[in-house]
Amino acid sequence: MPDLISRRRPAVPIAVKARVFRDRLEEEFKVTVARARRQFAATRGKLRQEAREARERLKSEIEQATADLKTGVARAAGRVKSTRHRLEGEARLTAAKMKLRVAKAKSKAKQAADKLEDEARFLRTWIESPLKTGAVSPSGPDLAREMARHVDPQMPGLVVELGPGTGPVTEALVARGVAEQRLVLIEYDSDFCRLLRERFPRATVLQGDAYAIAETLRGHVHDRIAAVVSSLPLMTKSPRERLGLLRQSLALLAERAPFVQFTYAAASPIPLREGGFYAEPGRRIWKNIPPARVWVYRQA
Ligand SMILES: C[S@@+](CC[C@H](N)C(=O)[O-])C[C@H]1O[C@@H](n2cnc3c(N)ncnc32)[C@H](O)[C@@H]1O
């Protein structure tokens, strides 16, 4: 019995048990707290990393958006600028076209007014001295061109025009390429001379008698002349006077150079029977009022 009793383990006091239990709990608590702390630290680091990354992403997205916006704004500004330039260019072009149209209209109106004034001036001169003026209106552009066509602008020497009036043939000669300073204009009427000096300031205008051409040109011509272009009303003069004019002119002209004359008459205004020169009739200019024909005379 006593053996039985002595073999029984001695009873552990409850206080010891409690201490052991408490110590174990404390130990477990510490381990749990340490694990929780580690987990917390790891989670916090991860979250911080994620936050950093999110911030970086956001920053780069904002930068990209800002750059895109800037590019968009620059493109829009470029488009606005180019549109403005295009519109300004178009506006300038339209303005220039309008100016040109206005200038053309003005010039047409001026031409029409000048033509009308020339007609009136011509008619006045014709009323005052019909035989000298020889026509009631200036030659039309077709006749003037046909006269000028027989003048070679390349041939050296002066070009002498007889009876230029208000200048339609003179204008055609200049348009043909005869330099204005090569022109000598012999006109009887003082008003026409004043007008010619205004219209052809570089030409030489001589107020004088074309039938005395050699005398009128004295001191003004030093070489053979390239052409004589005459609108004189020859038919108001005697055949002898007409022939005299041609002979004087041919003596002043270079070899093969033309004496050009228009006439409303059907036949040559210079009597042909005398000979000593070539005479060549041109086609009749029906558009002129009255219709006229150009004759060209050269030395034989
Ligand atoms: C028929 S008009 C021609 C005018 C102009 N060439 C034309 O074709 O319209 C004749 C011109 O010759 C001029 N004239 C007439 N006799 C003249 C003369 N003896 N000397 C110079 N000019 C003269 C007149 O004053 C007039 O201007």
Q: What is the mean pLDDT of residues 136-152?
A: 94
* 132, 146, 288, best to mutate for ligand 1 pocket (most atoms within 8 Å of CB): 132
Q: Which atom of ligand 1 is nearest to the CA of 138?
A: 9
- pLDDT tens for 216-237 read 999 999 999 999 999 999 999 9
C-beta contacts of 248-251 below 8 A and 24+ residues apart: 248/213, 248/214, 249/160, 249/213, 250/277, 250/297, 250/298, 250/299, 251/214
Radius of gyration of the chain (CA): 56
Q: How far is the CA of 235 from the centre of ligand 1 (A)?
A: 12
| Residue 44 within a domain | no
Q: Which structural domain range is residue 252 located in?
A: 129-299
Specify the pLDDT at position 8: 66
Specify the pLDDT at position 32: 92
| Residue 253 within a domain | yes
Find tokens 């009308």 and name the residue. 116
* 122, 183, 189, 196, best to mutate for ligand 1 pocket (most atoms within 8 Å of CB): 189
Q: With 90 as the cut, is the pLDDT of residue 295 above it?
A: yes
Identify the residue whose C-alpha is closest to ligand 1 atom 11: 163
Q: How far is the CA of 140 from the centre of ligand 1 (A)?
A: 14
Q: Is 188 in the pocket of ligand 1 (CB under 6 A)?
A: yes
- pLDDT tens for 106-126 read 999 998 898 888 888 888 888
In the structure, what pLDDT confidence band is assigned to residue 175 with cuts at 50, 70 and 90?
Answer: very high
Taking the model in full, what pTM does it have? 0.70
CATH classification of the domain holding 179? 3.40.50.150
Instruction: Specify the pairing of strand 259-263 against strand 292-299.
Output: antiparallel
Structure tokens at 106: 């003005």
Structure tokens at 66: 């800002």
In the structure, what pLDDT confidence band is assigned to residue 6 with cuts at 50, 70 and 90?
Answer: low
**Tally of domains in the chain:** 1
Q: What is the mean pLDDT of residues 274-290?
A: 91
Strands of the 159-162 sheet, one edge to the other: 204-207, 183-187, 159-162, 227-230, 259-263, 292-299, 277-285
Q: What is the mean pLDDT of residues 75-86?
A: 94
